[in-house]
Structure 1
């Protein structure tokens, strides 16, 4: 009987076993498979808003529980369809007029004479990197006027401005300011127009006018109008959410639904010692229902998924079907065109392959059809099936639990992308099907059969990770790591190269969409170094191949290998010679430090030697160039970049020593130590060290110094790190330590690296608590941003990036093999 009770209540037992996470996440991870199959809640309550892709596009998942014929919506919203009355360029190009020099006053008024302005097709932006941009704009400023002809008035309607901008934008509708973004960057943001603004929209000619300031890098300005379509609501009543708890591999929700408690868990079994499991494109939504009044209740659960999961834009046509196999029910949706690997870019979602909603067949009714039909069937307890094939139809599963005091179960969601990555001209299958001998049905069958064991393993991992992180850096630190875990992993795709190399390729989310970016790999790597160094190698392999194959011929490392998901050659507009070469050398040494041998470095010794010699010549006092913080622009004499170059040379020495190349090891360690001595003299500003060697009244985080400590390389004088740490403590703002003296923004991953330089846990926690506070209070409800302001609760840019894997660097302390060479 005890075993039966544990099986029935396995969900609740699992939930209680983990140390709870008190943070209010800016967004809650739900479905985390890869950069395309990604679902998040951007709200405090799971039922407040639709589930969304990390880009903010709606990926609706609807969940409703019926308890004794009373309906409670616990997940998602009944979406009101929005109709375009002035499309953005995502849907189609639009006619606009523009200038790049400041126009006269009242340029945003309808009466302004724009006859001398240039005519072009919107949107306007950096066409090389922004797929939605129809007219190239790469100068500093732009002013745009767009005349829109409406066929009726919209008084009393809910109308929205949809807009994208990079960076500062001001947008007007018929001369009324709608939005003034300040220093920010957003894609497909929406804002509801006020009654005054809606009243100004008249039948006939109307004007949308916008201004944008491109501070650095990419530029973009796009805007349009949407109106709500009237529709019936079937599930107006919600459950009462009582808790949410984000763990490393699972998110737990609890709800009160009349006389029962509903516990809901989203699980991504991303246990990194098992690469086939990491690659398996299946997540679980588990439910556990328990009576709270001592009575039995008749319970049904309804899960509904939108075809948006299988397309880039909701306007694309989809086809759906259902079938049964080996005791499981499969509902499948995909785009009608199936243009495999036909697009690359940042703010894009997959539109090839197939999304699946899967359940056990027993006690399950399922349907494909229009939202109203399926919802009405559930409300009226109709068990009839819908048509077998549908166009732009939703998918639904109803689980009938019967009259119960407690019950548990699951549904599964997943995606078969057919091909995942194009790698130097070759289309690669996902890692789980690398030998082309697996099927998606087989993956779901394995996921179903291993469910109970995986729930146990995930719960054990979550608990252990929280304990270890708390011991290393405190509770706030552990909670940030738990929130970062799935975000970091799911920003990558795991495939196997034609030569057998493991490729773990990142997508540079909401930055520029690059694939395999080295200066994204660098901050992301600590998570993978900690849990599976083979994945850290997978981050580097494409860059090594790019050089060793002769496809990249420069004497320093490339920035990237393409734009996701096409990894065919570097697409970034410039190089970062010192940055990327330093990153590759340091991470190769870090892999050796985790494994206790230099076998991986030895395989790539020739190209590592080329790169280290480049740094010997160019690394001490870098010329005008970008570093990983490229949003700050080019600048010369970067002291922190010089640290990276010096420690990269020391890393080469470390690798040589592990191979028994003692003469080589001594030579390069002496070079590194000589550079460190000169650095101390060049960067010294008394009580701290400079941002650039030529500017005494400057400072910056020297986060690159952390590797000297972690790998015990003994390159820099011991007094440097404590001096910097003490200085930084006096520079913190409410939400953290600025990146440097130039701006109030920061990079949260670098703060954790900087804090790891501290010799004691208490000092480390002083740097971590403000980051935790920001994530808990930010008004920007998005998957964690790593680029945020320290004096306001707003993010500066980026979201859902893999670099939060860098939070785990503190947990590497004491786990790396120190260098023993002492030659001077």
Structure 2
């Protein structure tokens, strides 16, 4: 599977959900075009014109083969004039990505070797999933290790510890046969961020200690020169603490390859404690990473992670094979390419912590998950961002969905939030300070529909009636709001808030109807038959009335308007997916068929625009719409342009979900209103087809009533 020269940066490692991940720039005019050597990895943000830094995360890799040294990771030689006479780069001959790995293959001095970046995805093991570490493995064949003298050098810089030119401190220690570099700000800024990086905690870099392994700390120029000259480090450590860019301090290892050990594996990460602070009636509560319930210290956690790399690779291969197999079955190679590219980006946006007890203290036996609305504004646990993410969670482990909803539900149960509808978010990451005045971003119909939709999806896959009972009265409150305000929504924002407010939104009304219908099914789950009949009847009546107000005949094809009052408008009716995936059967098959026919008339070169106001597309909603197609041809007409968009390589950013369909560029780029939606959790919505399969199975839908 290979779309590496697409618009998304190539994922290298996603080491800390929400605060730090590394990408290889591939697209745009200045991108590396997918070549690992010669360009530094970067954090997710786009390099905006006039910004103070380029978000570089210096990570260097050199390989020495029979006394000749080649660059393969970053630009430690080609980026420094001091090495002008020694600049040699390994030749990249292949690249492949999977759901969890990016695999680069090189040739140098007649030797072929791989550099594999692995970010484990273990959704069934929550404590392991909470570990903020990733792997880099460099391997050669046993034959090559036997015939040649081969050594590998890698280092990281202080840029991994701070988003600014901060004063650093560092240390090196041995723990359980693992060497560990640790680097942090000298003055910690708890719960503070700079350039989208955490300014507390420490970056860590580790490898197994064995014969032929040497560690070193020092000025980047000196440490790399030492490896060039000697093929190894001398285990000297610079202890003159200084700023990130003052004689750039780096933290490295050299590893001698052998016939018995023809590979070297490094662990990289950023560790914090506490992770987030959470609003309670008793004040703000600090919550630790879930990994702290299994490991007493970060060195223990990192040592265990490093020691488990072989098993982690085996598990990753199985997970990768499952994702690829399932996605290909659902809709072929193009869909598999999109799904695989989305996994690490989505999992890198939320993190797992300890929970909150009933008396508002930290509960070490409990679990919560917290999401960062990356790039759009940094909000914490945003409902309408969890919503497009949730298909991936349904596919991997629906428990993760309930854990992301837990902070929102617990905050609402506290009585601190005054509105009748769900809170939009909980604050600015990592500070869940809440909105006790009710002054959050107003998306009342959107968020109420989202919460009820996701609640039913979770129940249908888990049959967790205890969870439904716990939150039932809250669900009823939100449903009562939708009964009053959902069919004809007042002027307000939807999740597509970048497009502005609009009254009488037809797609938003569909979400309200789906939410009411979902409440009927939740009532049925608890045997509340009176509620079930009431909500089901209301949803059916609303669906009938919606069709009377929403459908128009424009250009000879019946379709939904963008808003009831605008006969010449249209929109992507992606919320119809709720009716289908939850098996509610509220809308007729004609609505599905007519929408699909209309979409065919509106397709642009790189996909289906979101609505008639702009030529913008949202990739997650395109897949939602594809999951509503009545035949495979209609489905693929919506999916295939998404891969064309990736291959176009017009933008230099991690998989943007919002783009211009005629050009595959950012909306408004070159003007004074560009919109950069990059590296966001919403790519989890690309798993809509696989979530549909799981829920069809759970709901005993043997033959899809909307297909054929």
Output the TM-score relative to the length of structure 2: 0.88
Please state if 1:249 is matched with 2:249.
Answer: no
Q: Is the 8 A contact 1:259 1:291 kept in 2?
A: no
What does residue 201 of structure 2 align with? 353
Higher helix proportion: 2
Among 326, 336, 342, the residue aligned to 1:468: 326
**1:232 offset after TM fit, Å?**
4.9
What does residue 37 of structure 2 align with? 47
> What are the residue-to-residue correspondences of 1:580-599 with 2, within 5 Å?
580-599=447-466
**1:496 offset after TM fit, Å?**
2.1
SS of the equivalent of 2:155 reads strand
Distance 1:620 1:379, change over 3 A: same
Among 220, 224, 239, the residue aligned to 1:371: 220
Task: Give the Cα–Cα distance (whole angstroms) in 2 for the partners of residues 269 and 360 of structure 1.
Answer: 18
Please state if 1:802 is matched with 2:681.
Answer: yes
SS of the equivalent of 2:252 reads strand
What does residue 336 of structure 1 align with? 186
SS of the equivalent of 1:320 reads strand
What does residue 28 of structure 1 align with? 10
Please state if 1:428 is matched with 2:287.
Answer: yes
Distance 1:819 1:253, change over 3 A: closer
Among 400, 406, 424, the residue aligned to 1:541: 406
RMSD of aligned alpha carbons = 2.1
Task: Give the Cα–Cα distance (whole angstroms) in 1 for the partners of residues 191 and 3 of structure 2.
Answer: 40
What does residue 221 of structure 1 align with? none
What does residue 114 of structure 1 align with? none
The alignment of Structure 1 onto Structure 2 pairs a total of residues equal to: 649
Higher strand proportion: 1
Deviations 1:171-199 (A, max 9, x none): xxxxxxxxxxxxxxxxxxxxxxxxxxxxx
SS of the equivalent of 2:356 reads coil
Q: Is the 8 A contact 2:425 2:440 kept in 1?
A: no
Q: Is the 8 A contact 1:503 1:541 kept in 2?
A: yes
Distance 1:622 1:294, change over 3 A: closer
Please state if 1:680 is matched with 2:547.
Answer: yes
> What are the residue-to-residue correspondences of 1:766-777 with 2, within 5 Å?
766-777=637-648
**1:599 offset after TM fit, Å?**
2.9
What does residue 592 of structure 2 align with? 721
SS of the equivalent of 1:337 reads coil
Q: Is the 8 A contact 2:77 2:83 kept in 1?
A: no
Please state if 1:263 is matched with 2:141.
Answer: no
Q: Is the 8 A contact 1:62 1:78 kept in 2?
A: yes
Q: Is the 8 A contact 2:216 2:233 kept in 1?
A: no
What does residue 477 of structure 2 align with? 610
SS of the equivalent of 1:366 reads strand
Among 129, 135, 148, the residue aligned to 1:297: 148
Q: What are the ranges of 5 or more consecutive residues in structure 1 without an aligned counterpart?
A: 1-19, 82-228
Q: Is the 8 A contact 1:502 1:537 kept in 2?
A: no
Please state if 1:748 is matched with 2:615.
Answer: no
Task: Give the Cα–Cα distance (whole angstroms) in 1 for the partners of residues 491 and 325 of structure 2.
Answer: 44
Distance 1:572 1:524, change over 3 A: farther
Output the TM-score relative to the length of structure 1: 0.76
**1:434 offset after TM fit, Å?**
4.4
Task: Give the Cα–Cα distance (whole angstroms) in 2 for the partners of residues 390 and 415 of structure 1.
Answer: 22
**1:528 offset after TM fit, Å?**
0.6
> What are the residue-to-residue correspondences of 1:91-170 with 2, within 5 Å?
none
What does residue 246 of structure 2 align with? none
Task: Give the Cα–Cα distance (whole angstroms) in 2 for the partners of residues 366 and 642 of structure 1.
Answer: 61
When Rg is computed on C-alpha atoms for both structures, the one with the higher figure is 1
Q: Is the 8 A contact 1:590 1:711 kept in 2?
A: yes
Q: Is the 8 A contact 2:13 2:119 kept in 1?
A: yes
What does residue 564 of structure 1 align with? 429
**1:357 offset after TM fit, Å?**
0.9
What does residue 254 of structure 2 align with? 398
Q: Is the 8 A contact 1:527 1:806 kept in 2?
A: yes
Deviations 1:620-652 (A, max 9, x none): 010010000000001100000000000000010
Among 52, 55, 58, the residue aligned to 2:56: 58
Q: Is the 8 A contact 1:260 1:291 kept in 2?
A: no
Distance 1:409 1:383, change over 3 A: closer
Among 132, 150, 153, the residue aligned to 1:281: 132
SS of the equivalent of 1:795 reads coil
SS of the equivalent of 2:124 reads coil
Q: What are the ranges of 5 or more consecutive residues in structure 2 without an aligned counterpart?
A: 27-33, 47-54, 244-248, 358-362, 668-675, 702-708
Distance 1:408 1:260, change over 3 A: same
What does residue 78 of structure 1 align with? 76
Q: Is the 8 A contact 2:445 2:512 kept in 1?
A: yes
> What are the residue-to-residue correspondences of 1:423-572 with 2, within 5 Å?
423-424=278-279, 425-434=284-293, 438-499=296-357, 500=363, 501-570=366-435
SS of the equivalent of 2:595 reads helix
**1:417 offset after TM fit, Å?**
0.9
> What are the residue-to-residue correspondences of 1:219-238 with 2, within 5 Å?
232-233=83-84, 236-238=87-89
SS of the equivalent of 1:332 reads strand
